[in-house]
Amino acid sequence: MNDNKPQVKLISKPENMLKTIYTACRTCYSADTPLNIYDKDVDEEKMLNLIKRVVGSGHYSTIEHIQVSFAISNISRACTHQLVRHRHMSFSQKSQRYVQEKGQFDYLIPHTIEKDEVLKAKFEDFMSEISKKYLEFVEAGIPAEDARAVLPNACSTSMVVSTNLRELIHVANLRLCTRAQYEIRMLIKAMCEALTEQEPWLKEYLVPKCERLGFCDEDKSCGRKPMLPNMAE
Ligand SMILES: Cc1cc2nc3c(=O)[nH]c(=O)nc-3n(C[C@H](O)[C@H](O)[C@H](O)COP(=O)(O)OP(=O)(O)OC[C@H]3O[C@@H](n4cnc5c(N)ncnc54)[C@H](O)[C@@H]3O)c2cc1C
């Protein structure tokens, strides 16, 4: 069993992220060619102002040119099952068909169970029972692809995730909201932090959706922003 924090590393991003988006934005409104626009020196503030105006008006193709990749481990299959619902992300995940468990499989304990010693011990006992049953099936000649049927949502997994910036912002807006499940919220937070460490200008976009909308559109609100008038009780 590992600690409950997702391990996240940003493994790929364009060097010239800001300039690429600026060039895409500027190309739409300039008689000049993208080649010339890209080659001209422009100060960062000017680029950021244009990007803010263009992205703010919903002209999102300009941020689809940026592709980023993350190496992710120590997350549960419950978490990745939610992540893979996002259709503009690309995934390569550790296979439970080709990678057979040799002993106790790694798993994540949900944080609400982890903080209760009694429930935590019960959870751990149950994981160990499942592991024994899994190994029993494997030793009886059942292939890993079928023996895995007994493995739980808590099983630890790893993946490489790639996405364009538009989709990452969309996913951050949804999954940083307190209505999203805790583990995926922590995962997306770690992914956003890995990126904003290198591209701090993205901090204002990689936020819960209420920060971009200015209001909460959920039926139950955490109170961070006012609810839409017709949704408030
Ligand atoms: C808090 C929360 C709770 C959830 N609970 C459940 C649940 O109980 N059960 C459940 O099944 N799912 C649940 N989901 C998952 C959710 O229904 C979506 O499957 C998931 O958010 C991915 O869809 P998306 O709209 O975010 O778009 P993505 O797949 O990330 O795509 C991004 C955007 O592209 C566009 N797009 C993509 N594909 C299409 C398409 N086929 N047609 C038109 N436009 C498209 C849309 O504008 C979309 O918003 C939950 C998600 C959240 C955030």
17-64 tens-digit pLDDT: 999 999 999 999 999 999 999 999 999 999 999 999 999 899 999 999
Q: Which helix (H) or strand (E) covers residue 24, if one does?
A: helix 17-29
Mean pLDDT score, 161-183: 97
- Reported as a pLDDT band with limits 50, 70 and 90, residue 228 is confident
Examine the pLDDT at 2 and tell me if it is beyond 70. Answer: no
Of 60, 82, 85, 178, best ligand 1 pocket probe by most atoms within 8 Å of the beta carbon:
85
What residues does ligand 1 touch, defined as CB less than 6 Å away? 85-88, 167, 170-171, 174-175, 179-180
CB 70 within 8 A of CB 6: no
What pLDDT sits at residue 231? Answer: 59
Pairing of strands 89-93, 156-164: antiparallel
DSSP secondary structure letter of residue 131: H
**pLDDT given at position 232:** 55
Q: How far apart are CA 134 and CA 138, in angstroms?
A: 6
- At CA 69, angle to CA 174 and CA 187, rounded to 5? 40
Residues 66-100 have pLDDT tens digits of 999 999 999 999 999 999 999 999 999 999 999 99
Give exposure, 23-39, as e/b (b: 16+ Cβ within 10 Å): bbbbeeeeeeeeeebbe
Provide mean pLDDT across the span 130-139: 97
The structure tokens listed for 79 are: 């978490």
Sheet holding 67-76, edge to edge: 7-12, 67-76, 156-164, 89-93
Q: What residue's CA is closest to ligand 1, atom 23?
A: 86
